[in-house]
């Protein structure tokens, strides 16, 4: 029988929940991270199906993974804290509330009479939208890298010294995740491509910092994203474009 590895008896219940793990060889598979990753995968599948439930399910995963990535700051985890990964969970929650609202509105305007219909019809972003997103990603990565470096200088970990590339990777993933989630809320096909850009950095970073379930999740996402991208492109070609919520009044008039 597999024994659970928990934190020392001096830790409180909150810390023990974060640190509870299953030993697999020399690696500790943390329960909270594993469950959060699985719920995140379920949210991605719902998103591919264009179901509104993708957003609230994703919020549950975001809350769990926030505490996973920042657990060391609570004295509940011995791994390297990933401030970028933790911070993006907060943004995911905010964006998910927006996406939840927007997909619900679009579905109500365009598919109210069909209970089995997806919430939205995807589309390609315009050239102007793409340019703005790319510029935001590149400039945002530079600014966030500086912010993470500054935060680290305020309270460095004496047991771990980050390599020069660490904060660049964390910043790239953080800003790229913002781009991908916002693009998904807008119903753009490009959101899948943005996730590929995040995955290319997230996989090696996850293995390098000991977050193996997260790294495996990125690998799975990479394969899943390719399939999801093809499904959204097909839908954008075959389905009638949606009426946008902010245009509903003009159309009705």
Show pLDDT as tens, one digit a residue, over the chain (253 residues).
344 444 345 666 656 666 666 666 666 677 888 888 889 889 989 999 999 999 999 999 999 888 887 765 565 555 666 676 788 889 889 989 999 999 998 888 887 767 677 888 999 999 999 999 999 999 999 999 999 888 778 766 665 677 888 889 989 988 998 999 999 999 999 999 999 999 899 888 888 877 777 687 778 778 888 999 999 999 999 988 877 776 444 334 3
d(Cα 147, Cα 134) in Å, to the nearest integer?
20
CB hemisphere CA count around 201 (13 angstroms): 20
Domain of residue 23, residue span: 13-252
Query: Is there a domain that residue 177 lies in?
Result: yes
Q: Is 2 inside a domain boundary?
A: no
Cβ atoms < 10 Å from Cβ of 221 = 22
- Whether residue 1 is contained in a domain is answered as no
State pTM to two decimals.
0.77
On whether residue 3 sits in a domain, the answer given is no
User: H-type helices in 155-189, by residue range?
Assistant: 166-186
Q: How many domains does the structure of the chain reveal? A: 1
Q: Determine, yes or no, domain membership for 8.
A: no
- In this structure, is residue 76 part of a structural domain? yes
Q: Report if residue 34 sits inside a domain.
A: yes
Q: Is residue 19 part of a domain?
A: yes
Q: Are 119 and 51 in contact (CB under 8 A)?
A: yes
What distances in angstroms separate CA 8 from CA 5, 14, 76, 92, one per listed residue? 9, 12, 9, 32
């Amino acid at each position: 029988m597999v024994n659970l590895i928990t934190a020392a008896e001096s830790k409180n219940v909150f810390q023990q929940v974060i640190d509870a793990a299953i030993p697999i060889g020399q690696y500790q598979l943390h329960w909270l991270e594993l469950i959060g990753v699985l719920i995140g995968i379920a949210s991605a599948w719902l998103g591919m199906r264009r179901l509104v439930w993708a957003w609230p399910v994703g919020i549950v995963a975001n809350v769990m993974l926030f505490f996973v990535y920042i657990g060391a700051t609570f004295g509940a985890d011995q791994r390297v804290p990933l401030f970028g990964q933790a911070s993006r969970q907060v943004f995911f929650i905010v964006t998910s509330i927006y996406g939840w609202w927007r997909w619900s509105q679009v579905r109500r305007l365009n598919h109210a009479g069909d209970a089995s219909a997806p919430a939205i019809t995807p589309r390609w972003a315009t050239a102007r939208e793409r340019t703005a997103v790319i510029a935001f990603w590149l400039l945002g990565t530079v600014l966030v890298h500086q912010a993470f470096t500054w935060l680290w200088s305020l309270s460095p970990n004496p047991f771990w010294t980050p390599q020069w590339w660490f904060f660049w990777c964390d910043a790239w993933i953080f800003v790229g995740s913002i781009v991908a989630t916002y693009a998904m809320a807008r119903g753009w096909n490009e959101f899948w491509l943005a996730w590929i850009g995040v995955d290319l950095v997230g996989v090696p970073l996850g293995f390098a910092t000991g977050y193996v379930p997260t790294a495996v999740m990125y690998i799975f996402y990479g394969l899943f994203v390719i399939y999801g991208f093809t499904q959204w492109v097909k839908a954008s070609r075959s389905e009638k474009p949606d009426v946008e919520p902010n245009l509903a009044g003009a159309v009705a008039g």
